[in-house]
């Protein structure tokens, strides 16, 4: 197969930042996807319907003319997010609420310190039928960084699932066999997104020939057995697994740093990277469901009209993009990919 036409896909998890950075990254996402779920971890975070609407307008202002792109907005869950705000958010078109355990990742300082504190708000979410998007990692000094996701499932997610049986939950950017198995066996209210980088790489990529900060993201890449489990889940045609790039841009000098930021920038070549991963698994025929159908079906939104076409052709990713006053280095900068969009 040398050409693959898909119903226009969506990205169910992306970071586009704010200000001048929007003008680099929004055109990339808008060129690849019809819609994208926009993460709210700005500084300060997006915690009100009004902030989400204003942020949406700033994103739309960065969409190149001639492209049709719909940002799907989210709110950032804190210990103090009032249940009323969920009702206002729903009315304002906000599609989901994001749970960051405090301290788990970039700009998560305002995140949840204890799930119990948010139960009134989660009740409102369940009532409104809005998904809770979960960064599924525990942060504790005595838990190994590679075990954070599995421990989160056992100690946080299973009780949460039991206490809110009809709350739609998306376990975001899953990285382990444990998560893939948990989601596959869960009921229809539970789903997961999978990034391209977790399908393509295992943790060796972070350490090959020296420390490679552009492969550092959270949750961190895991060992090969986990990558293989994610590939099986993504290519299984199980509608619980769908596309979420977790493309997370940081200026190159802050990734190539003594305390480098977490996040891989994949938005400019997202579909090409997913095609590479599905092709390697001889499962290109499964890409459309994963990229274009299962996400909107879970959120209760219509599938997109229109199509995109990927062609087998070698092309080399740029080394970097201008990014505000800095540079943004994509994952696989300067490397050759074998699929090209358009
Ligand atoms: C994300 C970011 O930079 O905002 N980083 C990442 O490594 N994925 C935050 C997140 O999704 O954890
Ligand atoms: Zn993310």
**Atom number in ligand 1 closest to CA 216:** 7
The domains found in the chain, sorted by start residue, are: 3-341 (3.20.20.140)
Our answer on whether the CB atom of 248 is closer than 6 Å to any ligand 1 atom is yes
Best of 110, 248, 266, 323 for a ligand 1 pocket test (most atoms within 8 Å of beta carbon): 248
Q: What's the CA-to-centroid distance between 109 and ligand 2, angstroms?
A: 15
Query: What spacing in Å lies between the alpha carbon of 264 and ligand 2's midpoint?
Result: 10
263 lines ligand 1 (CB under 6 A): yes
Please, which residues bridge with residue 97 across strands?
75, 132
What are the backbone dihedrals phi and psi of residue 154, each rounded to the nearest 5 degrees, phi first? -70, -45
| 35: region left, alpha or beta (phi > 0 left; psi from -120 to 50 alpha) | beta
pTM summary value: 0.98
pLDDT tens digits, the chain, 342 residues: what are they? 899 999 999 999 999 999 999 999 999 999 999 999 999 999 999 999 999 999 999 999 999 999 999 999 999 999 999 999 999 999 999 999 999 999 988 889 999 999 999 999 999 999 999 999 999 999 999 999 999 999 999 999 999 999 999 999 999 999 999 999 999 999 999 999 999 999 999 999 999 999 999 999 999 999 999 999 999 999 999 999 999 999 999 999 999 999 999 999 999 999 999 999 999 999 999 999 999 999 999 999 999 999 999 999 999 999 999 999 999 999 999 999 999 999
Number of the ligand closest to the Cα of 216: 1
Catalytic residues: 246
Q: Which of 310, 332, 330, 308 lies closest to 321 in space, CA to CA? A: 330
Q: 274 and 199 in contact (C-beta within 8 Å)?
A: yes
> Helix, strand or coil for residue 22?
helix
Does 106 contact ligand 1 (Cβ within 6 A)?
A: yes
Contact (Cβ atoms closer than 8 angstroms) between residue 268 and residue 28? yes
Ligand 1 neighbourhood includes 111 CB (under 6 angstroms): no
The pLDDT value given to residue 106 = 86
74 lines ligand 1 (CB under 6 A): no
Could you tell me the distance, in angstroms and rounded to a whole number, from the CA of residue 217 to the centre of ligand 1? 6
Cβ proximity of 274 and 288 under 8 Å: no
Q: How far apart are the first and last CA of the chain?
A: 16
Which ligand has the minimum distance to the alpha carbon of residue 263?
Answer: 1
Q: Which atom of ligand 1 is nearest to the CA of 250?
A: 3
The ligand that comes nearest to the alpha carbon of residue 108 is 1
Length of the chain: 342
């Amino acid at each position: 197969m040398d050409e693959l036409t898909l119903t226009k896909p969506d990205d169910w998890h992306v970071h586009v930042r704010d200000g001048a950075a929007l003008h680099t990254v929004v055109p990339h996402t808008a060129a690849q996807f019809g819609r994208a779920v926009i993460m709210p971890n700005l500084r300060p975070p997006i915690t009100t319907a009004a902030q989400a609407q204003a942020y949406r307008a700033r994103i739309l202002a960065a969409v190149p003319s001639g492209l049709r792109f719909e940002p799907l907005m989210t709110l950032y869950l804190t210990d103090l997010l009032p249940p009323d705000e969920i009702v206002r958010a729903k009315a304002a078109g906000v599609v989901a609420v994001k749970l960051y355990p405090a301290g788990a990742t970039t700009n998560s300082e305002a995140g949840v310190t204890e799930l119990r504190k948010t139960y009134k708000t989660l009740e409102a979410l369940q009532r409104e039928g809005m998904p809770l998007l979960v960064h599924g990692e525990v942060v504790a000094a005595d838990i190994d960084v590679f075990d954070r996701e599995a421990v989160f499932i056992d100690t946080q997610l299973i009780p949460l699932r039991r206490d809110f049986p009809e709350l739609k939950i998306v376990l975001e950017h899953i990285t382990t066999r444990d998560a893939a198995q948990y989601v596959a066996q869960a009921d229809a209210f539970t789903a997961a997104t999978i990034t391209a980088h977790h399908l393509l790489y295992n943790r060796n990529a972070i350490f090959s020939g020296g420390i490679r900060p552009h492969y550092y993201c959270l949750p961190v890449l895991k060992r090969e057995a986990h990558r293989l489990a994610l590939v099986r889940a993504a290519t299984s045609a199980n509608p619980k697994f769908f596309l979420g790039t977790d493309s997370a841009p940081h200026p190159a000098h802050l990734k190539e740093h003594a305390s480098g930021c977490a996040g891989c920038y994949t938005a400019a070549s997202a579909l090409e990277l997913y095609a590479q991963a599905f092709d390697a698994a001889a499962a290109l025929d499964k890409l459309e469901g994963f990229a274009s159908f299962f996400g909107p079906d879970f959120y209760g939104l219509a599938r997109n009209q229109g199509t995109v076409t990927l062609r087998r052709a070698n092309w080399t990713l740029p080394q970097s993009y201008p990014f505000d006053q800095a540079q943004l280095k994509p994952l696989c900068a300067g490397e050759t990919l074998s699929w090209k969009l358009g």
